[in-house]
Amino acid sequence: MPETLTIMDNRTGRTFEVPIEEGTIRATALREAKVGEDDFGLMSYDPAFLNTASVRSAITFIDGDRGVLRYRGYPIEQLAEQSTYLETAYLLLFGELPTNAALARWSDEITHHTFLHENVKSLMQAFRYDAHPMGMLVSAVAALSTFYPEASQVDDSAIRMRQVVRLIAKVPTIAAWSFRHSRGLPYVYPENDLGFVANFLSMMFRIAEPKYLAEPALERALEVLFILHADHEQNCSANAMRSIGSSKVDPYSALAGAAAALYGPLHGGANEAVLKMLTEIGTVKRVPEFISRVKAGEGRLMGFGHRIYKNYDPRATILKQVADEVFEVTGRNPLLDVALELEKIALEDGYFVSRKLYPNVDFYSGLIYQALPVAMFPVMFAIPRTAGWLAQWLEGIQDPEQKIARPRQVYTGADERAYVPIDERRSATLAVTPGA
């Protein structure tokens, strides 16, 4: 069976053959379909990349129909059970699990780069008292590029790796300080004798105690959350990271852009919507009525459905268990019962079954983060995703097939027309009235 596709251009009657490689055809192969010598050739139109692979990647594998997620071949369930965030970050970045010695060196390097220049602290302190922590994070990460001008040398592998270490180490410090700022609390400096997650919790919650020691069950829960959120192949923010990085700008600027993409409610903000929905439903008794409203098209069941997963999101299965472990320490959140009832009814209901709508990662993560202000939710997502963004960036920057990302367009505007002097214009439509 030939691995080719035969295309017949009905405009010209010409037939041509296009090779199929790894389940794809090259979009540029379509350019052979042209009606004349100076015709540019056919393009594919794919808003929102619904059916376009923009990269070849060896980092994360997702089989959405079967609910499979693997980092570098390792199932997410095994990593969540046995790994740590720093080890997982190493795996994503370097392709293999570290040896004992490599992990010790890696952890040591990250630990020794957690401090921020004092001027970054001043910069963060200059924000308004009620600044959104995600806005602070995006700005402070972008500002880091001015502290490390060498970072612009993205073709130097040693310099690249230095920025990777700095970003993984410093993003949690920025994240914690953005939270402290919103509370009007003094910023807490990193502690080098604490592990990655314990140090983050200390920077978040330490008040006057000489040493902040996190509850081990909560520390482990956060470690698992960080592992689950570390990468998710070509999602909106990873695509932003690669696209911005393709201009060869420094990784701080590219990562600030990726974090900005994550800030949007359709990406990093869905768990906030889940919490809001659960609070509005309030009690188990009101679940059937809510489900009926969703089925009647009056809103969505937040935390359900996914562009890629048409099965249970494997991260949701793990998080359901993590939520139980967290609630054993913090006390059971009554909204968990509402969530469980919603899930039970939805998984049996024809509307959700026929549309293959299952719980996604956000269905339970909001409940676990409930002790934090919702504005911190995307920040909590950005900390571990830094490893994924950097792995995607490194792969992109070293891929000889990649060039500056520059999509085509289908132009739908006016044809050429002559400039009209202002006094001769009869009418103009403005979307916004000046001065209004």
Of 181, 232, 306, 313, the active-site residue reads 306
Of 231, 250, 313, 362, the active-site residue reads 362
Site string for ligand ACO, 235-274 (x = CB under 6 A): --------------------------------x--x----
Stretch that binds ligand ACO, among 26-34, 37-45, 210-218, 359-367 (CB under 6 A): 359-367
Q: Any catalytic annotation for residue 113?
A: no
Q: Does 359 bind ligand ACO (CB under 6 A)?
A: no
- What is the footprint of ligand ACO within residues 269-298 (CB under 6 A)? 270, 294
Of 113, 267, 337, 399, the active-site residue reads 267
- Quick one: which of 277, 302, 382, 397 contacts ligand ACO (CB under 6 A)? 302
- Quick one: which of 11, 26, 285, 300 contacts ligand ACO (CB under 6 A)? 300
Q: Does 306 bind ligand ACO (CB under 6 A)?
A: yes
Quote the least distance from Cβ 388 to ligand ACO, whole Å.
12
Q: How many residues bind ligand ACO (CB under 6 A)?
A: 16
Q: What is the dihedral of CA 71, 73, 76, 79, to 10 degrees?
A: -90
- Quick one: which of 137, 154, 171, 301 contacts ligand ACO (CB under 6 A)? 301
Stretch that binds ligand ACO, among 8-16, 81-89, 300-308, 399-407 (CB under 6 A): 300-308
Quote the least distance from Cβ 382 to ligand ACO, whole Å.
12
Phi, psi of 304 (to 5 degrees): -120, 145
Q: For every residue of the chain, which 3-state class applies, written as one string?
A: CCCEEEEEECCCCEEEEEECECCECCHHHHHHCCCCCCCCCCCCCCHHHCCCCCCCCCCEEEECCCCEEEECCEEHHHHHHHCCHHHHHHHHHHCCCCCHHHHHHHHHHHHCCCCCCHHHHHHHHCCCCCCCHHHHHHHHHHHHHHHCHHHHCCCCHHHHHHHHHHHHHHHHHHHHHHHHHHHCCCCCCCCCCCCHHHHHHHHHHCCCCCCCCCCHHHHHHHHHHHHHCCCCCCCHHHHHHHHHHCCCCCHHHHHHHHHHHHHCCCCCCHHHHHHHHHHHHCCHHHHHHHHHHHHCCCCCCCCECCCCCCCCCHHHHHHHHHHHHHHHHHCCCCHHHHHHHHHHHHHHCHHHHHCCCCECCHHHHHHHCCCCCHHHHHHHHHHHHHHHHHHHHHHHHCCCCCCCCCCCCCCCCCCCCCCCCHHHCCCCCCCCCCCC
For ligand ACO, which residue has the nearest CB?
Answer: 305
Q: Does 304 bind ligand ACO (CB under 6 A)?
A: yes
Quote the least distance from Cβ 121 to ligand ACO, whole Å.
31
Q: Any catalytic annotation for residue 232?
A: no
Q: Which is nearer to ligand ACO, 223 or 362 (CB)?
A: 362
- Quick one: which of 276, 293, 355, 408 contacts ligand ACO (CB under 6 A)? 355
| Tokens read off for 435 | 């001065």
Stretch that binds ligand ACO, among 32-40, 51-59, 163-171, 356-364 (CB under 6 A): 356-364
- Quick one: which of 69, 275, 357, 397 contacts ligand ACO (CB under 6 A)? 357
Stretch that binds ligand ACO, among 133-141, 211-219, 299-307, 325-333 (CB under 6 A): 299-307
Question: Which residues would be at the binding site for ligand ACO (CB under 6 A)?
Answer: 267, 270, 294, 300-307, 355, 357, 360-362
> Which residues have a catalytic role annotated?
267, 306, 362
